[in-house]
Amino acid sequence: MGHAAGDRPGRDAGRARRPGAPGRRPARPLRRRDHQPAGRGGRPDRVGDRAARRWRAAAAREAFRRGEGPQDTAQRTIRNDEDHALGRTTLRGAFAASCNTTFSRLAVERLGAEKLAASARRFGFGARLAPGVDAADGSFPGPESGAELAEAAIGQGRVQASPLLMASVAAAAADGSWRSPRLLAPKLIREGGGAAPDPRPVPGASALRTMMRAVVTGGTAAGAGLPGGTAGKTGTAEIGGGRSHAWFIGYRDGIAFSVFVEAGGSGPKVAAPLAARFLKAMG
């Protein structure tokens, strides 16, 4: 089943609950499947990884990265979708092509677990969201080994996300700050026992927007038929048994969104075309 969640950058919009956590439930007039746990975050979570890396001068100084085929990183074999290999490429090129090996190696060899986790928190992972409905947020457990760090850098392993949270991630990239989604008036949320976290600035958002635009103009979402002005990130999140969740998050004309297709397979082939239909229907 596919679900789309949308938000307007610069505005509050929705709540979530960490998968498996006891419910701190504010006023709950409705229950929506698109706000529930979606499992592994998959490639869209790399958006936060890119932002963290952008803050590092060492990463900013390098002229290119090597987008290689399957790589053993910290005793964990990391593969790209369909085992593609880019060779020498820019950081933007690796992002646009969704090159897992590039970003897993950068996380292990340069960024480290603490900074990666801090970046995830800036994008709302682990926050106690309170939009006024029963919904799932996301979690980013601190990597405890090099292998876990390599997986977490591409949104795999123990990383958890929901479409609602990932829509807020796209909104943060577009706006330059992360805001807790909100669907009800603040007064109603407070009356229900909820309290929205404060907005969080996202350093490097301008560079991140450039890379998300490259995904659509010449990267993994280039053939999805997305309308002009769209920027985003595809994701294909492995869930075992040869299956994957399909993701696409993005923004256009003041609307941030997330498309998730449970066990749908390829993000570029399944989720991104659905996003195109969603955006075209909006006009």
* Contact present, 190 and 66 (Cβ < 8 Å): no
Distance CA 95, CA 208 (A): 10
- What is the per-residue pLDDT for 41? 57
DSSP letter for 206, please. H
pLDDT at 138 (0 to 100): 92
Residues 6+ apart with CB under 8 A from 240: none
**pLDDT at residue 136, rounded to an integer:** 85
Pairwise CA distance, residues 156 & 121, whole Å = 16
Pair of tokens at residue 142: 């601190």
Q: Could you read off the pLDDT of 77-136 as tens digits, one per residue?
A: 676 666 667 678 899 999 999 998 899 999 999 999 999 999 999 999 999 878 888 888
Using DSSP's 3-state secondary structure scheme, residue 122 falls into helix
- Measured from the Cβ of residue 66, the count of other Cβ atoms closer than 10 Å reads 15
Q: What confidence score (pLDDT) does residue 10 get?
A: 43
Enumerate domains of the chain plus CATH numbers. Answer: 2-282 (3.40.710.10)
Query: What is the rounded CA–CA span in Å between residue 177 and residue 60?
Result: 21
User: Using alpha carbons only, what angle is made at residue 139 by residues 98 and 252, rounded to the nearest 5 degrees?
Assistant: 50
Distance CA 4, CA 247 (A): 10
Which residue ranges in the chain fall short of pLDDT 70? Answer: 1-46, 48-77, 79-84, 86
Quote the CA–CA distance of 80 and 218 in Å, as a whole number. Answer: 17
Question: What whole-number distance in Å separates Cα of residue 14 and Cα of residue 12?
Answer: 7
Contact 115, 86 (CB under 8 A): no
Q: Cα separation of 44 and 95, whole Å?
A: 10
pLDDT at 224: 98
Let me know if 231 is exposed, middle or buried by CB neighbors in 10 A (0-12, 13-18, 19+).
Answer: buried
